[in-house]
């Protein structure tokens, strides 16, 4: 790995600019989920322990270069102070002299970087201004690493730079899962649409031994095989894409696992009447029937397939997990992966918004090897794209 960590930096007496992601959900002026705040604590604590002063840079919402009072980072202060166990100094307009005058042991939070138009444009002038505030740059926001912004890439090119603890953990987990995996390696790719994950699938089929396809995506692949799936969610425009991916997988020696049965209903609602129907090229559903989850035989086949893997990457649910009983296949497969991970026989890395929600709902998250909250950056990494924020650390 061509990037440094906090362990490689002399922090004593240094002002350390730390790009963090504390873009957390807020209701009625209060943070409702502190997960992202909790995850930056080890980095902040280690900088303080090394004698440095953490100066936190972060965005909040999409103000598009304008001051928007409702998107001020001030709202995160109570949760941030509670997580760190100390006061945090909030600064709207920082300057080097003011920061240099603060007492040792201070933690500073700078106002929303996206209030400045130069942030998302990666303006060199803004990057130079940010660099003037510190001696070292530490990127701990993998979730923003796919954006070439002033606070992610611009400043990294002007100061000695390193990865924070969260970034370090994220990159190490992804390297272990995809770049240098212990084989056999498999992936679960689910969700609604093939169209949003074409690059992901095309990158994975040449790297995997097993690819499990679930959710609405599986319906498109089954349709490509000849199934007539009634009102099921699928993308007719991407049937040829599905065929191409299946052909390439066969050529590359990657086994694709599609549902062989499904939970079929006539209504998309919790507790809807449903039946288990065999799925395959010969399947013909009525015009008002839709597949909302993989069936019990399919869920067990996925769980059994995990037994042969050493590494598993997971992105997306196997069905409409938000409503019962169409969460069953995801829950069964997640429990199997979690059990193998807990036993030490499987390295499991998962990420993406719906994925985290589905695994949390299944009660499986705590036993996965690593759960990424990075969303877009996680997907772009899986697609094989270079992430500007990571590349900047390697220069």
Instruction: Please list the active-site residues.
Output: 36, 193, 353, 376
Mapped onto helix, strand or coil, the DSSP state of residue 123 is coil
Rounded to whole angstroms, the Cα distance separating 387 from 289 reads: 42
The DSSP secondary structure of 49-81, one letter per residue, reads HTT-EEEEE---S--TTS--GGG-GGGGHHHHH
Cα separation values, 334 from 104, 176, 313, 321, Å: 46, 20, 12, 12
Lay out the sheet containing 185-189: strands in order across.
255-257, 210-213, 185-189, 311-315, 347-351, 370-372
Residues counted in the chain: 395
Q: Are 255 and 209 in contact (CB under 8 A)?
A: yes
Q: Are 320 and 268 in contact (CB under 8 A)?
A: yes
First to last CA, the chain: 12
Lay out the sheet containing 161-163: strands in order across.
89-91, 108-110, 53-57, 15-19, 136-139, 161-163
CA atoms within 13 Å, Cβ hemisphere of 357: 15
Whether the upstream peptide bond of residue 325 has omega within 30° of 0, thus cis, is: yes
Q: Are 340 and 318 in contact (CB under 8 A)?
A: no
Residue 20: what are its φ and ψ, rounded to 5°?
A: -120, 165
Rounded to whole angstroms, the Cα distance separating 392 from 357 reads: 31
DSSP 141: -
Handedness of CA 217, 189, 203, 166 (dihedral sign): positive
């Amino acid at each position: 790995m061509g990037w440094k960590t906090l362990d490689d930096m002399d922090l004593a007496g240094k002002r350390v600019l730390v790009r963090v992601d504390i873009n957390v959900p807020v209701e009625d002026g209060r943070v409702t989920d502190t997960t992202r705040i909790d995850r930056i604590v080890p980095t902040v604590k280690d900088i303080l322990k090394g004698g440095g002063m953490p100066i936190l840079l972060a965005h909040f919402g999409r103000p598009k270069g304008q001051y928007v009072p409702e998107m001020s980072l001030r709202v995160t202060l109570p949760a941030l102070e509670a997580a760190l166990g100390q006061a945090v100094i909030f600064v709207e307009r920082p300057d080097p002299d003011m920061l240099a005058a603060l007492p040792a042991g201070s933690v500073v939070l700078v106002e929303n970087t996206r209030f400045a138009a130069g942030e998302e444009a990666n303006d060199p002038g803004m990057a130079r201004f940010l660099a003037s505030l510190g001696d070292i740059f530490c990127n701990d926001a993998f979730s923003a690493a796919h954006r070439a912004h002033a606070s992610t890439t611009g400043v990294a090119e002007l100061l000695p730079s390193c990865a924070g603890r969260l970034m370090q953990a994220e990159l190490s987990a992804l390297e272990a899962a995809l770049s240098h995996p212990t084989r056999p390696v498999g992936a679960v790719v689910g969700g609604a649409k093939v169209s949003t994950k074409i690059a992901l699938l095309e990158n994975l089929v040449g790297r995997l031994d097993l690819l499990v396809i679930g959710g609405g995506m599986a319906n498109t692949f089954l349709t490509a095989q000849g199934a007539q799936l009634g009102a099921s969610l699928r993308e007719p425009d991407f049937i040829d894409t599905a065929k191409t991916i299946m052909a390439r997988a066969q050529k590359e020696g990657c086994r694709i696992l599609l549902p062989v049965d499904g939970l079929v209903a006539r209504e998309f609602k919790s507790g809807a009447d449903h039946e288990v129907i065999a799925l395959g090229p010969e399947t013909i559903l009525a015009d008002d029937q839709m597949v909302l989850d993989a069936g019990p035989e399919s869920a067990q086949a996925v769980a059994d397939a995990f037994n042969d893997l050493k590494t598993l990457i997971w992105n997306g649910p196997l069905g409409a997990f938000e409503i019962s009983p169409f969460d069953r296949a995801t829950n069964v497969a997640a429990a199997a992966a979690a059990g193998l991970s807990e036993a030490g026989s499987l390295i499991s890395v998962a990420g993406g918004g719906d994925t985290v929600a589905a695994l949390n709902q299944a009660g499986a998250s705590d036993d996965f090897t690593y759960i990424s909250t990075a969303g877009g950056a996680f997907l772009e990494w899986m697609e094989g794209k270079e992430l500007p924020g990571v590349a900047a650390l390697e220069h």
